[in-house]
Structure 1
Amino acid sequence: MLGSSSSSSCSHHHDQQHQQDQEQLHLQSDLSPPSIYLRQLLLACARSISHSDFTAAHRIATILSSNSSPYGDSSERLIHSFTKALNLRLRLHLPHPPPLSINNDAILQSSYLTLNQITPFIRFSQLTANQAILEAINDDQHINHDIHILDFDITHGVQWPPLMQAIADRRPPPTLRITATGTNLETLRRTGDRLSKFAHSLGLRFRFFPLLLPHHTVDDVINHLSAVLLLPNEILAVNFVLYLHRLLTDRDKLLLVLKKIKSMNPKVVTLAETEANHNHPVFLSRFEEALNYYTAIFDSLEVTLPPNSRERMAVEQVWFGREIADIVMAEGENRRERHERFLSWKTMMKVAGFRNVALSPFALSQARLLLRLHYPSEGYNLDVVNDSFFLGWHNQPLFSVSSWH
């Protein structure tokens, strides 16, 4: 009897508290823009989680869920994505957490291709990396060498056709070989077939080697690097575009990977990464950093695309939604999206024995042209710092690209 009366009074208190929260929300939203207040609630929810006050966090998350939508303006959509991520984290603290539904791989791949079309992020990274590779292999002393590209996580291989075109124009044209890593052998083979057909249409001698890394973990990479075939008459280029952060589960082992790459004597290593610290061990610091970073991403999408754009929704909900969920929800070794800022990568590359190679003025004008032609929004800017390029939205740097030898 005692138990039931105590639980009913507890439930009454909970309802009262929920009502107060709702009243407070309506009161505040009359005084200030709702998105500012909802953002404060997001931070309050994250703070409650960081203090292990899951009752309060759940209460705030309920308010956020009923006051945000994937169809509103950029701040509403951002709040919706972060609320979803917080709810996923809260589910982990239930006595019997329900299984998480993971994004379907086909949907994820489709959103990647859409992301590539509607934002400059991937194209900027790949175009700049290609230019660095091209300039390294066009060095006079290597003009008669064949070319070998080791590409980590090639996905659909959209980076390579423009470079293949440039290589095919060389006289005499060299042979190009790509060793491509991926987690799915079928996807790797399809990518290899597409690139082989394209090479054939250019009259370019081309070979493609799929290297399956089933888990894309640091150990996986270390175990499979010895399978990469190196030939004496080839220049090696290693491409890390938006990939290396996944190996930050173990910094010491990642340094081993980089040192092993250095021992393969590449002519150039290209590195593109998200310019944010989403690898902070303290949840709240990581959450605040992610909130600022993805605010800029969602704002840029808002300005670049028309209202109710289906493509934008797919990219926000699937691609960036998955990143946000991973940064907010996962702890320890389960986290994949371990972005760190350029200065952190610079330190690691130098420890591994690499030196930064300045990207050329031509690479800069080419990247600026890409932004002007395809994304004529005033918000994007391009900065050159430490011989590397930074693509930003207003004052928020978003991505960095650098070249190493």
Structure 2
Amino acid sequence: MLPFYHLDRSGSPDNQCFYRPVENVGEQSRISENHTSHEKKQMTFFPGFERFEELCFDDGPSEPSPFQLSQEECTKLRNIHSEMLELFVPEEEETSRTLSSFRVLNNCRSNLEEQNSAKVKASGSDIACSKVGGQSVNEIIRLAGEKFIKSRSQRADGFSELNHDLHDDKTGDAELIVQKLLLSAEKIGEQQYEHARSLLNHCNEYSSNKGNPIQRLVYYFSAALREKIDQEMGMTTPEMVSLQFEKDIMNPSTTTSLSLHQRMPFCQIMQFTGIQAILENVSQAKRINIIDLDIQYGTHCSVFIQDLASRQVCPVEHLRITAVGTKLNTITTETGKRLANFAKSMNLSFSFHVITVDDILDLNENLFELDINEVAAVYSPYFLWTLISQQDRLEYLMEVIRTINPSVMVVSETEVNHNSPMFVNRFVEALFFFGAYLDCFGEYMDPDDPDRFTAELMFGHGIQNIVAAEGKERIVRQVKNNVWVQFFGQFNMVQKELSRSSLYQASLVAKNFNCEASCSLKMDGKSLILGWKGTSVLSLSAWEFL
């Protein structure tokens, strides 16, 4: 294992960055003085809290939140954003029962219609979902779902009607292929495995991991359904799929991550918005500690450094970035070195502190080396969902953060429910969610782009885990924003308003990517929801502790 580093702040002069290697604190945290903490870790901090599987909420429409900035504010943010973008260039180098199971198709249609009508206004510029040339992937899925439900509800022997269609010559009809996928999922739910496998053989005639977005989607979902069949029939075990997914999602390749970040709008829209929210909440602090729960390559941290180094009002005396890592999301030494060099070039006093633990239950507030003169902020980009399958760890982490009492905690998560105990519901949710991503890939990346292949293969492992795995092997248990709102409420957290400047950042990035017609931004209470052609994909919210 590579050594981990943190910057030694003892006797550090201003504007000097240096660090020393430290051993894995997962081992250090097991010294005798922490024995009693393990008893504490087994406690349920909030006995009244419901399990994620039991949380059900109304997904009714929320009112959009119009906003507008002054011309001066717009100009300032545009300039800042333009400078920030330069930092992101990668370095070289049964019928009724069945219909009930597929009711989520109607929910997805309802959500799509809501997204079409929701807008966020920013300085006279509207970003709204609308149809673009041809059909989007998720419009094809929605239309196929409507035909599937209509066919199944019109006939008691609905399969015979679909079965007739399945043997025609329209093997290239995208809607028909999606209906085959839906029918195959239904048959798996009814334990008609050979029938389901036969349907998937038809899908193979159309699917391709090198084709158009819908062909690629069918390719990965067909593979996931085959894996589900094999596991149900005892031909394979789910462990290998889970292990492969953990490896991919927690440690994606550097080049692929940087390439997607530079070329895809989703990440940058939410990242710039979250960064702006944090910066505004530490605007009066001279010594700042940003705690990052998933720093990866630290690209976004360069934005913090650049902004804080150029701050004229209440100049920053020192910036400390604390990166939290586990055995799954390791932190490379190069991240700290790169950020330290960049801070030095900006003449900013900087230190980089890494906390790495074998288990989240080994984390405690003492490891953060908190300074009473520092103002702390927590940034959690798409990390909390990885602990839903280990809710004791999730609750423990939140308890540690509550002890730290940061001025703000900014959270980005996926806006999808992959936590349903019903396999068919997860299947449909995932179909729309990944359909949106593959559709976006199709607009911004070439069909034979190697980074696109790598990203889609990683998605394929995630799809298999969502569709095929059950019990403890099902790692992907993402939930929607309304569930997180309820969860955070159990920790005496209150949601903070996202400022007009933060929301403007989101609209500005979307405009720079020229995706205003496809990308929707709407407010769900105080949370920002990003959608792609009618399908919600990401959420962002800011929180503080009472």
Per the shorter chain, which TM-score range?
A: 0.7 to 0.9
Instruction: State the partner residue of 2:3.
Output: none
- Check the 8 A contact 2:273/2:502 in 1, yes or no: yes
1:31-84 Cα offsets, whole Å, 9 max, x none, are xx6211111111122222222332223222333234310122211111111112
- Check the 8 A contact 2:418/2:476 in 1, yes or no: yes
Instruction: State the partner residue of 1:247.
Output: 387
Secondary structure of the structure 2 residue equivalent to 1:179: strand
Where in structure 2 are the equivalents of 1:301-340 lying within 5 Å? 301-318=441-458, 320-340=459-479
2:127 counterpart of 1:127: no
Instruction: State the partner residue of 2:321.
Output: 178
CA distance in 2, matches of 1:25, 1:394: 28
- Check the 8 A contact 2:269/2:505 in 1, yes or no: no
Instruction: State the partner residue of 2:353.
Output: 209
TM-superposed deviation, 1:107: 6.0
Q: What amino acid is aligned across from residue 336 of structure 2 in structure 1?
A: G
Instruction: State the partner residue of 2:85.
Output: none
1:155 to 281, 296, 303: 296
CA distance in 1, matches of 2:268, 2:185: 34
- Check the 8 A contact 1:303/1:377 in 2, yes or no: no
TM-score (norm 1): 0.84
Secondary structure of the structure 2 residue equivalent to 1:352: coil
Where in structure 2 are the equivalents of 1:319-398 lying within 5 Å? 320-376=459-515, 378-398=517-537
- Check the 8 A contact 1:74/1:302 in 2, yes or no: yes
Is there any run of 5+ residues in structure 1 with no aligned partner, and where? 1-20, 215-219
- Check the 8 A contact 2:363/2:397 in 1, yes or no: no
Q: What amino acid is aligned across from residue 346 of structure 2 in structure 1?
A: L
Q: What amino acid is aligned across from residue 269 of structure 1 in structure 2?
A: M
- Check the 8 A contact 2:322/2:354 in 1, yes or no: yes
CA distance in 1, matches of 2:411, 2:252: 26
CA distance in 1, matches of 2:266, 2:360: 25
TM-superposed deviation, 1:91: 3.2
CA distance in 2, matches of 1:374, 1:253: 38
**Quick check: 356-365 or 368-377, which moved more?**
368-377
Secondary structure of the structure 2 residue equivalent to 1:355: strand
CA distance in 2, matches of 1:384, 1:281: 28
- Check the 8 A contact 2:207/2:215 in 1, yes or no: yes
CA distance in 2, matches of 1:153, 1:305: 25
CA distance in 1, matches of 2:486, 2:252: 36
TM-superposed deviation, 1:95: 4.2
TM-superposed deviation, 1:109: 4.2
TM-score (norm 2): 0.64
Percent of aligned pairs with the same amino acid:
30
CA RMSD of aligned residues (A): 2.5
Determine which structure has the larger helix proportion and give its number: 1
Where in structure 2 are the equivalents of 1:1-400 lying within 5 Å? 25-27=166-168, 29=170, 34-97=173-236, 100=240, 102=244, 108-139=253-284, 143-144=285-286, 146-171=287-312, 172-183=315-326, 187-214=331-358, 220-226=359-365, 227-251=367-391, 253-318=393-458, 320-376=459-515, 378-400=517-539
CA distance in 2, matches of 1:100, 1:35: 31
Flag the 1:181–1:65 CA change in 2: closer, same or farther, 3 A.
farther
CA distance in 2, matches of 1:264, 1:275: 27
Q: What amino acid is aligned across from residue 151 of structure 1 in structure 2?
A: D
CA distance in 2, matches of 1:275, 1:211: 29
TM-superposed deviation, 1:252: 5.3
Greater RCO structure (CA 8 Å; 6+ sep): 2
